[in-house]
Amino acid sequence: MDFGLVLQTDPPASQVVSLMKRAERNGFRYGWTFDSAVLWQEPFVIYSQILANTQKLHIGPMVTNPGTRTWEVTASTFATLNDMYGNRTVCGIGRGDSAMRVAGRKPNTLARLGEAIDVIRDLAEGREAVVDGNPIRIPWIKNGKLPVWMAAYGPKALALAGEKADGFILQLADLYLTEWMVKAVREAATAAGRDPAAITICVAAPAYVGDDLSHARDQCRWFGGMVGNHVADLVGRYGEHSSMVPDALTEYIKAREGYDYSHHGRAGNPSADFVPDEIVDRFCLLGPVEAHIEKLRALRDLGVDQFAVYAMHDAREATIDAYGRQVIPGLRG
């Protein structure tokens, strides 16, 4: 199993770069950031510094979307980084939550997302693609490589990930839901004539190493609120107790009362007060080292190829170091 670190691009950017360097020293192979232009600094500028200051770390957004930038710009940006530093980028992509809504736009449709996945990959790897009805190719790209991993929760999005994406990003670490969603992605891949084993499975969730569970839960409760935005969309689309979406995913948002993006992804987010301890425990990795290793083994047994650590809490360095010293060696041992 590979490991990734997920950060927001809060200023100063130098601290983001420093934490990514720390992650690489501790055995992490991937570095991810949020991508929301109003809430945080521009990630692609910072990626250049991360790549320049690391040797093997693969970098990308978790996640970008088809609406913030035009597709040829997204493809060219990834290709430029790859040309400068080797093929060390990954395009995590989804419909868009904070990036679109904070700017007053709706998340992209799945049809638009599916088209963007193909176009961005083709352009970034030097092939011709059709953008807004015009066939274009970026002529300077040689030997480009851009895996595109799609974030998804709902049945139609999971099917699209299986049909088109090189990887699947699941932003929660609940074992039951992971099994259900990985199965859905792989079944869709098989139905599309693809090799389901070729799709990289990435689970991303907060991890907090320590014995004070109450404090760890409070530091990571924001995550249930963030996931709740996507769950609310699913309930709006499919209704409550739909056979299309497990109750284990939708029940907890009944007490949700709106969401303030000014606190998005941050410890102490008041919009996440509705999230119960049970959901925090199920969605995140909390507790002593042994608890992390036990859950990671269970995720690995479900076919998870990478665990990406959301580190938006008050123990970022300690968690990165604990994973490097004890969790990663313990899992591999």
Q: Do the Cβ atoms of 82 and 88 come closer than 8 Å?
A: yes
In the prediction, which pLDDT does 48 show? 98
- E strand or H helix at 200: strand 200-209
pLDDT at 136 over 90: yes
Alpha helix (H) residue ranges in 208-288: 213-220, 222-238, 247-250, 277-283
Task: Encode pLDDT of 253-300 as tens digits.
Answer: 888 888 788 788 888 888 888 999 999 999 999 999 999 999 999 999
pTM (predicted TM-score)? 0.94
Categorize the per-residue pLDDT at 75 as very low, low, confident or very high, splitting at 50, 70 and 90: very high
pLDDT given at position 233: 79
| Whether 99 contacts 68, CB under 8 Å | yes
Please give the radius of gyration of the chain, using alpha carbons only, rounded to the nearest integer.
19
Question: What pLDDT score does 262 carry?
Answer: 78
Q: What percent of the chain has pLDDT over 70?
A: 100
Three-class DSSP category at 262 = helix
Instruction: State yes or no: pLDDT of 240 exceeds 80.
Output: no
pLDDT at 230: 79
For residues 121-126, average pLDDT: 98
Angle at the Cα of 302 from the Cα atoms of 90 and 223, rounded to 5 degrees: 60
Share of the chain above pLDDT 90, in %: 80
In the predicted structure, residue 27 carries a pLDDT above the cut 80:
yes
pLDDT at 285: 98
- Judged against a pLDDT cut of 80, whether residue 243 lies above it is answered with no
Q: How confident is the model at residue 111 (pLDDT cuts 50, 70, 90)?
A: very high
* 155 Cβ neighbours under 8 A, 6+ residues apart: 184, 238, 244, 245
Task: Assign 95 a pLDDT band (cuts: 50, 70, 90).
Answer: very high
Burial class of residue 135, CB neighbours in 10 A (0-12, 13-18, 19+): exposed
What pLDDT score does 237 carry? 77
Percent helix, percent strand, percent coil in the chain, to nearest 5? 50, 15, 35
CB 227 within 8 A of CB 171: yes
* Model pLDDT, residue 248: 79
